[in-house]
Copies of this chain bind each other. A is one copy, B any other.
């Protein structure tokens, strides 16, 4: 009565595996493109699938406000609505309630907030979040938590984590188990390893189908983020998928995979696609730079995405300058393809026991930087 998780190979603490769901399977380590309002900005579902994406994330906060959970339910769920045939993971809505809504008030019960769209007041509780995600027909449901602020004292972090753990228990109780569907709990505890360990113990006691690491990439430095990630991942049950939330840059993904994380999401490839930034095996390319004006070469000569196979930097520069939609489409397409290629590369490296050399090759190429201007 849950999702399945099969580990096919390990390389150090890194794992190659497969999550089996009611909406199809996905290979791990997996990157989930973010489909905020029920669409990955600028991409058709066919294009997403061609990038290699096997699971998509959607945001409960956005969807509950517009078009609304009831309406989506009547349309058969968010996957059906957006014509994405594969698994969908939805967040709990908690993170965006705190970051996007107005006049929010946190209590033991939940979060009372005002919609950023129409100003309507709503109460989001663990039970409500679970109910909404069920209406969305989410393959993987996330428990409601409070994403702890940074920096924050140990005492306040402990209080916040405690609330998240009580909410996790309520989420589990409210959740209706179904075959091929799963519920994930979220580890909090800020930058304090001791609190992270307590949070892990509490969640494992409650029992979830997978465990997420939350409260990171919130402003702390990179080294600290990876320390906390590695520490937390090492304490999580081996037999369940581990999801590092909201992370991150390509190098972050490599580091976190090495630490044993299996699932990721981040708006970076899509958002950067809309601002003219491309991720490549040779680092970041800013297509707005006038050095690309006459460059007939693709973003990345080794990339097999439709953008790199079909279009020059000069054309992309022109499209972005002229604010053409196709510029957003092609840049996003490349970035998502690159992220998926990176994950596929890591999956292959883990199976071959060569993740270490993959990582050093990756780092070297990133350091080399972009090709020289013509």
Residues of B within 8 A of A317 (CB): 67
Complex alpha-carbon distance, A41 and B326, angstroms? 7
- Is A66 part of the binding interface, using a Cβ–Cβ cutoff of 8 Å? yes
Residues of B within 8 A of A81 (CB): 312, 314-315, 318
User: Does the CB pair A44–B326 fall under 8 Å?
Assistant: yes
Those of A26-57 within 8 Å (CB) of chain B: 37-39, 41-46
Q: How large is the interface on A (under 10, 10 to 19, 20 to 34, 35 or more residues)?
A: 35 or more
Complex alpha-carbon distance, A310 and B49, angstroms? 15
- Is A325 part of the binding interface, using a Cβ–Cβ cutoff of 8 Å? yes
User: Does the CB pair B329–A328 fall under 8 Å?
Assistant: no
Among the listed B42, B314, B325, which residue makes an inter-chain contact with A41, where contact means beta carbons less than 8 Å apart?
B325
Among the listed B41, B44, B311, B328, which residue makes an inter-chain contact with A306, where contact means beta carbons less than 8 Å apart?
B44
Complex alpha-carbon distance, A308 and B39, angstroms? 17
16 A-B pairs besides A37-B318, A42-B329, A67-B317 with CB distance below 8 A are A37-B319, A38-B315, A39-B326, A41-B324, A41-B326, A42-B326, A44-B326, A46-B306, A67-B314, A67-B318, A67-B321, A71-B294, A83-B310, A325-B325, A325-B328, A329-B329
7 nearest CB pairs, A to B: A67-B318, A83-B310, A39-B326, A42-B325, A37-B322, A39-B324, A81-B315
